[in-house]
Structures are given as C-alpha cells and as structure tokens.
Amino acid sequence: MELLKKLEILADAAKYDASCASSGTDKRNSLGQDNGIGSTEGIGICHAYAPDGRCISLLKILLTNACIYDCLYCVNRRSSNVQRAHFTVDEVVTLTMGFYRRNCIEGLFLSSGIIRTPDYTMEQVISVARSLREEHGFRGYIHLKTIPDADPELLAEAGKYADRLSINVELPSRAGLTELAPEKDFAGIRRSMGQMRLRIDAGREKSHTGRKAPRFSPAGQSTQVIVGADASSDRDILDMSTNLYGSYGLKRVYYSAFSPIPDASAVLPPRPAPLVREHRLYQADWLLRFYGFAADELSTDAAGNMPLAIDPKLAWALEHRERFPLDVNKASREELLRVPGMGVKSVDRLIRARRFRGLRLDDLARLRLPLAKVMPWVVTVDHRARGLDSLSLGKPAAKQGELLL
Amino acid sequence: MRSVVLAHEVDWGGWRDAARTLALSNVPPDEVVWSVRAPSDLFAEQAEDMPMPKPSGVFTVSRALVSLAETVIQAREPERFALLYRLIWRAHAGDKHLLEQVTDPEVNRANRFAQAVRRDTHKMRAFVRFREVVEQGVTRYVAWFEPSHFIVEANAAFFVRRFATMTWSILTPYRSAHWNGVETSFGPGASPADVPDDDKLAEYWRTYFSSIFNPARLKISAMTSEMPRKYWRNLPEAAAIPDLIRTAQARVDAMVNTPVISAPKPTNRFAQTVTELPSSGLARAAVEVAECRRCHLWEPATQTVFGEGPPDAQIMMIGEQPGDKEDLAGRPFVGPAGQLLDRAMAEAGIDRTQVYMTNAVKHFKFEPRGKRRIHAKPDTAEIMACKFWLEIERAELAPKITLMLGATAARAVLGRAVTISRERSKPIPLNGSTGFVTVHPSYLLRLPDEEAKAREYVAFVADLRAAAALLDTV
C-alpha cells in the first residue's frame, strides 16, 4: 500500500481521540547539538485548525487500525468493515521528522489497535518513540497511548521516551464498558493509571539520596471518555472525573461526544450526542479544577444532567441568587470566581487593580470582562445590579446556539 | 519640541537610549515627537547620529516595564514609542506600582499592544511552513510569512532553538531572517515570489489534515477564530478546507443513514482464558478478594489491597486500611506510614520479608479533595464486612503473634472497642496464640511536635521489639 493511502486510513482512524495537548513537558532545544531537531518550551503550539474547530498540534495517527478487540463504539473494532493498514516503524519516523522540519507539528501522538497481544503492541509503539529519540535525536513532543496491563517494564520504557502517556477510560461506568467493550478491563485501566501516577510522581521528586528517578512522562497522563454512548448522566461523568483527578493526578480528562462512525453497530445510539453537552462538561470540568466548585454543587435535573441552554456557572448562580449582587471592590477571590462571566485570569487582575482605586464599570471593561454578562451580578462604584428576574438570563447566546449544529 | 528618529521599526537600542536621555533631561512626553527612518534607508549607509545631550546620572525601571517595552515596541502602532516613553516618564517620576494598575488607560493600552504582539508571535510559530529546497546537494528550508506586527527579529531565536541543525530562511514583507547553522542574520523584506513552491510532503500534510477532520463536528467559526483566513494562503493544508466543508454534511448523512449491520453484541473472547483458582486457601482468597463487593468501598478505589508475606510467617501485622500509595501500588504498607514502619522494624530487629503484612480493611476509604484524596476512617460496618477476609488470613496463617497496629485492627481482631493507650505493650491471649496491640505508624506521622514524635517513635520500636520477643516465649 502507498504511504499516502496508509496515512489517510490511519489518521482517519485516530481522529476520535480528542487530546492534542503539547504543553507542560520539560524544556529542551537543539542549540549546540550535532544532529537531531526540535524543542519544547512549556507552551504547546497549535499549528493548524481543522474545520471541526479542533487544533492540530501533533501528528495523531495509529500504528495500525487492525484490532483484536471488538469495542462497539470504535471504528477500528475487529467486526468493522473498514479498510485496514499498518505503518512500519520507519514510516512513522519519516512522516514525523518530515512534518516537524516543515513546522507543521509539535510532535507525535501515537496510538494503535491491539495486535497479537497487549505487550507486543506496546513494544511496537515504543519502537517508534525509541527510534525518534535515540536514532534521530528528536526533541519534539511525544504522546504515547499505553495499553492497560502491559508489562510494567514496557510502561517504564514508554515513560522514558514519552512526554505524556494516556489510557482511555472510554466509558464513564463499569457497566457501560462491560456492555460495549467487554474485552476491556475497567479495573485494569485503573491499575495502570495508578502505576503511572506512582512513576510520574517519582520522576518529579528530587531524590534526597542524590540519585534521580528515571525520566517518566514529564507532562503527566490524561484520559478520554465518550459521552452519550451509554446511559451515564453528567453527574456520573463528573463524579468519575473528580475521582480520576484525585486518584491519578490526571492532567486532563477529555470528553468526546459520541459521534457517528462508518459501519456502526445497531447497539449504539442512532444519533450523535449533542456537541453542546460535551461543551458543558468541559465547562463543568474547569469549574471543578480551577474555580473551587465540587461536582455535587452543580445544578442538574432529576436525571443528573446539566442544562444545555445555559452554562453550568450561570445555572449555579441562578440557583444561588441570595449570594448576589457581589461588590467587586470587596468580594473575596473565591466569591468572584463564582460570578458568571468572570474567569480566573480576570479575577486575579481585578484583585490587583482594585488595590489602587475603587473599580467602576469602565475598569471592568478594560479588564476585558463581558459587561453584559457580569453586570447583573455585581456592584461597582458606579453601578448596582438590579433584580435578576427582570433579565432574560436563560436565553442561550448565539455562540452556544451555533454549537448545536 | 524634540524629534527622535529611530533607525527602524524595532530599534530597541535607539529607543532606550533616547528615552533614558530624555527622561534624565526632564523632557516631558508632550515635547517629544517619535518617528522611524524610511525603510529604504535601513540597509543604506548609516545616517549620522542624531545630536542628543549626553545623559548625566542613571535611573532604573522595573524589569517588568523593560520586558513590556521590549514587547510593545514590536507592535505595528505608530504611537507605541510615545506611549512607552509616557510610561517610562511616570515610572521615573516615582510611580512604583505603575504596571499593577491594569485599568489605567495607558497601562491598559500598552498591555493590549503587548497582547497583540504575543498573539502574532504565537501565530508565526504556528503558521510558518517551511518548504524544502535542494540546490547543488545542499538542503535548505524556506518559508514565507506575513506578520501583523514587527515580530521577525525577536521571534527568530525561537526558530533557531527548534531548527538549530537546519539551514533556513523566513521571508516576510518587511524583513527576512536567515540561519546558516551558526548565526542569524537579517535582510530586507521579500515577496512571495521569492519562495519556492510546495515540496512533495505538502500533499501528505494536506492528506493528514483532511483525514483528521471529523465531518460530524463541523464548526467553522472555531477554526477561523484561531486560524483567520489571512493566514490561509501560506498554509498548504488550507487548500483542502472548502471541499471539506462542502462535503461534510453528505458524509455525515451517509454514515447515519446507511443501514447498520446488526452485528451480534460482542462477547469477551478472552473470558474463557481465566485460569483455575489456586488450591491453597490464602492464595485463592488473594484472587477472589479482588472482586469483593461486601461493602461499597471498592467503587471509588483502584484495587483491593490484600495481605502479603510468607504463608508460614510467625508474625502477622495488621494495619487499618491501605492509603493513597497502597491503593495505587496494590501492596500494603508502601506509603509514608509503611516507610516509617520499615525503619522501626529494622531497628527492632524484625525482618519484614518474614512477616505477613495486611490490613483490617482491604480498600482505601477516602474523600476526594481537588488533586488529592483525604484518608477517611472506616466505620464499624466496613470493618465487619471486611472481617471475612481477615478471618481467612488469620485461619490460613495461624501466626504465633498477631500484632495489631491501631484501634481499627484491634477492633477487627478483638471484636470490641479498644483504647490503645490502655491495652498496648502487653500480650493479649487469643485463641491459641498471642495478640499484641500498639499504635499505627500513621499516628506517629500526625504528631505535630518533634519531641513527642521522637518519644513516641522510641515507644513504638520498643513495642515491636517486645512483640517479637514473645516468639521465644510462646
């Protein structure tokens, strides 16, 4: 098969993985080096955007889309009729180096269908990373998908070359996984995440004995969960995320709205999950991680789902009107973070700015706060929010409507 | 009025010298007119220096202000030189917290310029596309880029760090940057005609771009807000965009409307490969306990942590429950308390490899708290549910000494509430063997003051030694 055709098949097969992050690894560059190429400087770069609005930072491909598993939600499951292809190790290396030299990518995100055994597959994936690092002096970013319950020695080797490792939990509930992917082992996935956390933590610690622990995935680990393929509610999903962040120190949980795939199985929902649901989950995830919210504070309906029409912070604020309006010149950081329209950065700048003068509405505008969104909730020197009920807060903004496409 | 003519658009050295001189000479911002020499003069013979009064004295401004000025000077805004001088003037006049006043109109304006420069810088790093050119056996990489601001000079170092081992040129309308593998040089602007056509890999890149796109998630404005159309003509992949958009809906319809094959529900192909259970009671329990559902603690936990140690161990040590580290590793006593216990055991002359170590409760009970999990005490119902497994371990091991670390272990074994301080340090008869109660090592870790810690540690080691000594008497 032509390399171009393989690339077409194996990129197409990789597009359901949402992660494209290339940030947060250790810093390195190619200055003063004899050979090799590449640098990482902390902040990842999105080199292109596809018409689905997703960034393209890494060359995201599968080594092969052949798979011995039969996970129903997956386009590459063994009972699917999609065309199969395999890259050789050298082909992946050539494409990665070629695209990198042309400044198309930050690096490689390599995953694979399971062929023969988990250990065999893991070895193949590691071979690519080893060749890039050791034979070609590649100093760009490498994200490897790890295979649950592969040999711990293989995990250690993957972590030596990779900047980030990930294992997808795939479905929010054990029942969902048993139903749709019976060959995947929920407990095994979590055990592997536990192993990775121990190694990532050890790699970061400065050893008091002077002997450094081996390099292990400096940009940490992440995971992905498919939304809307099983019956899990938003609350179930966010409880799962809370557990995963706390237990395994994940950098990110990626939410992927179930999307129709070619040659789909009849067991799956016939319609795609609304993208706006995925969007709300990301917003809620941010509230959990950066805004001091707990999953059980977010407002949900009886079934445990968040409203789609308004964002989760606005929904929370509407249920806690008694806490508003807040005086931006006096409120604490924790309180300000709960004002609809205020982000972490703007709150921190606001707190710095109010040390010098009482803030007025035009100050908020200079802080680039969305005034229309913020005004109903705050008091400034020259403004006092009137009753919330007079405002049509429940109306979704045009931008959110667009997500419903 | 003073007139300052800078050598070029990002003449940082010229601006800084002038600003320093003017401020020291007490020339207010309103009396200075800033301009830039015509670009055509840039690479011509150096014009004679502007006459300037030599500065007397020195003054300093914050590193943050210098850094802001270095960024702002790259903005394509004619007023930037004057704006920056006004900020310098105010800082010089003693405004110490100038930059913290982010809502001050001048500070705000400078920050917005800086933000625009940073965004443009980032976009240049993202959207420069090199084409490979081979001439007389030498490979070079050439790119064309149209920045919105004057960012080429400051941004060249990034490309050097990344592509240090390549020879490359980045051409832009106002300036070109070249790296020959040793040093950077800058030349006059260029035109798109100076850049070679797409090389052979461009087609591969376009194919990748098209294949990674998911037609079921079409969201054009999200693409254009991050990758505005003005950059498209420089991106080989952008040529594919119109077709991808035009055909997206038809592709989704085809997927959704194609009759689905009613494949049978998947079965676990590997389910039959479950190995036979071991015959020994302890080994069988170690397998079975992994699926324990006797209480709800298994749900949020990673795994069951069963006991470990030789099956003929004479000492059995029982703790409360696995902690964070034990839950991740799947082994008892490997976290901070376990390490303290290891040290104390070594001092007491007890070989850990000869001891069977386990816990009263086999799952980690915790409260999630942000990025951490906070230990929660198991309640009586949980201890009782898990006693099933502890009884199997005790019956199979039949240890001579059962060492209970802490109140939970003591409750599980003795079946009653135990006050450690009252019952520690002495043998307690158990059915045909000897029990011994002491504190849990995590108690030592929680003690706030060092003196108490040291005292309690000594007592703990003494308890371990006394318990081990019982082996000779029973």
pLDDT of residue A47 exceeding 80: yes
Q: Give the minimum alpha-carbon distance from B83 to chain A in angstroms, rounded to a whole number.
A: 17
Q: Which of B395, B43, B27 is nearest to B189 (CA)?
A: B43
Q: Tokens 């559902």 correspond to what residue? A: B293
Given A55, A194, A353, which is nearest B226 (Cβ)? Answer: A55
Lowest mean pLDDT among A105-109, A147-151, B16-20, B403-407: A147-151
Question: Is A115 an 8 Å CB contact of chain B?
Answer: no
Q: Considering only alpha carbons, which residue of chain B is nearest residue A362?
A: B103
Q: Facing residues of B221 across strands? A: none
Which tens digit of pLDDT belongs to each residue from B255-305?
877 766 655 566 666 655 556 778 788 999 999 999 999 999 999 999 999
Instruction: Report how far residue B463's alpha carbon sits from residue B440's, in angstroms, rounded to the nearest whole number.
Output: 11
Q: Considering only alpha carbons, which residue of chain A is nearest residue B365?
A: A247
What structural domains and CATH numbers belong to chain A? 3-217 (3.20.20), 312-403 (no CATH)
Report the mean per-residue pLDDT for chain A. Answer: 91
- B-facing residues of A in 85-104 (CB < 8 A) are 95, 98-99, 101-104
Q: By three-state DSSP, how is residue B175 classified?
A: strand
Q: Are residues B186 and B312 in the same domain?
A: no
Q: Are residues B139 and B93 in the same domain?
A: no
Output the pLDDT for position B39: 62
Dihedral angle over CA of B272, B277, B283, B285, nearest 10? 90
Which residues on chain B are in Cβ contact (under 8 Å) with A46? 126, 226
Q: Are residues B304 and B453 in the same domain?
A: yes
User: What is the number of CB-based contacts under 8 A between chain A and chain B?
Assistant: 260
Check if the beta carbon of residue A4 is closer than 8 Å to that of residue B207. Answer: yes
Q: Facing residues of A138 across strands? A: A37
Beta strands in B343-415 (DSSP E): 355-359, 366-369, 372-375, 401-405
Output the pLDDT for position B48: 45
Q: Give the minimum alpha-carbon distance from B423 to chain A in angstroms, rounded to a whole number.
A: 36
Host domain of residue B141: 128-194
Q: Are residues B117 and B135 in the same domain?
A: no
Residue that is last in its domain, among B169, B194, B219:
B194
pLDDT band at A142 (very low <50, low <70, confident <90, very high): very high
Q: Are residues B179 and B223 in the same domain?
A: no
Q: Are residues B367 and B449 in the same domain?
A: yes
For chain B, the domain total comes to 4
Q: Are residues B98 and B14 in the same domain?
A: yes
Output the pLDDT for position B235: 95
Residue that is last in its domain, among B104, B123, B142:
B123
Question: Is A266 an 8 Å CB contact of chain B?
Answer: yes
Q: Considering only alpha carbons, which residue of chain B is nearest residue A403?
A: B219
Q: Are residues B384 and B333 in the same domain?
A: yes
B220 within some domain: yes
Which tens digit of pLDDT belongs to each residue from A80-138?
889 999 999 999 999 999 999 999 999 999 999 999 999 999 999 999 999 999 999 99
Q: Are residues B367 and B464 in the same domain?
A: yes
Q: Are residues B314 and B426 in the same domain?
A: yes
Which residues on chain A are in Cβ contact (under 8 Å) with B213? 15, 50-52
- Give φ, ψ of B332 to 5 degrees: -75, 150
B234 within some domain: yes
B258 within some domain: no
Q: Are residues B68 and B175 in the same domain?
A: no
B202 within some domain: no
pLDDT band at A156 (very low <50, low <70, confident <90, very high): very high
Q: Tokens 């081979």 correspond to what residue? A: B134
Q: Considering only alpha carbons, which residue of chain B is nearest residue A45?
A: B126
Question: Is A387 an 8 Å CB contact of chain B?
Answer: no
The single-letter code of the amino acid at A261 is: I
- B-facing residues of A in 298-357 (CB < 8 A) are 349, 352-353, 355-357
B269 within some domain: no
B200 within some domain: no
pLDDT of residue B230 exceeding 60: yes
The pTM assigned to this predicted structure is 0.92
What mean pLDDT is predicted for residues B164-185? 96
Question: Is A29 an 8 Å CB contact of chain B?
Answer: yes
Question: Is A39 an 8 Å CB contact of chain B?
Answer: yes
What mean pLDDT is predicted for residues B133-158? 95
The single-letter code of the amino acid at B9 is: E
Interface test with B, best of A40, A49, A101 (most B CBs within 10 A): A49
Which tens digit of pLDDT belongs to each residue from B65-75?
999 999 999 99
Question: Is A197 an 8 Å CB contact of chain B?
Answer: yes
Which tens digit of pLDDT belongs to each residue from B82-111?
999 999 999 988 888 899 898 999 999 999
Question: Is B245 an 8 Å CB contact of chain A?
Answer: yes
Q: Which of B159, B211, B115 is nearest to A82 (CA)?
A: B211
B268 within some domain: no
Query: Under an 8 A CB cutoff, do A242 and B103 touch?
Result: no
Q: Considering only alpha carbons, which residue of chain B is nearest residue A36?
A: B165
Residue B291 maps to which CATH number?
3.40.470.10
ipTM over cut 0.85: yes
Q: Are residues B316 and B460 in the same domain?
A: yes
Question: Is A47 an 8 Å CB contact of chain B?
Answer: yes
- A-facing residues of B in 57-116 (CB < 8 A) are 97, 100-103, 105, 108
DSSP string, A100-127: HHTT--SEEEEE----S-HHHHHHHHHH
Token pair recorded at residue B37: 């020499």
Question: Is B211 an 8 Å CB contact of chain A?
Answer: yes
Q: Give the minimum alpha-carbon distance from B40 to chain A in angstroms, rounded to a whole number.
A: 31
Check if the beta carbon of residue B370 is closer than 8 Å to that of residue A287. Answer: no
Check if the beta carbon of residue B126 is closer than 8 Å to that of residue B147. Answer: no
Check if the beta carbon of residue A377 is closer than 8 Å to that of residue A292. Answer: no
pLDDT of residue B173 exceeding 50: yes
Instruction: Report how far residue A40's alpha carbon sits from residue A56's, in angstroms, rounded to the nearest whole number.
Output: 16
Counting residues of chain A whose pLDDT is more than 70, the rounded percentage is 94
Question: Is B209 an 8 Å CB contact of chain A?
Answer: yes
Question: Is B369 an 8 Å CB contact of chain A?
Answer: yes
Question: Is A155 an 8 Å CB contact of chain B?
Answer: no
B273 within some domain: no
Query: Under an 8 A CB cutoff, do A190 and B241 touch?
Result: no
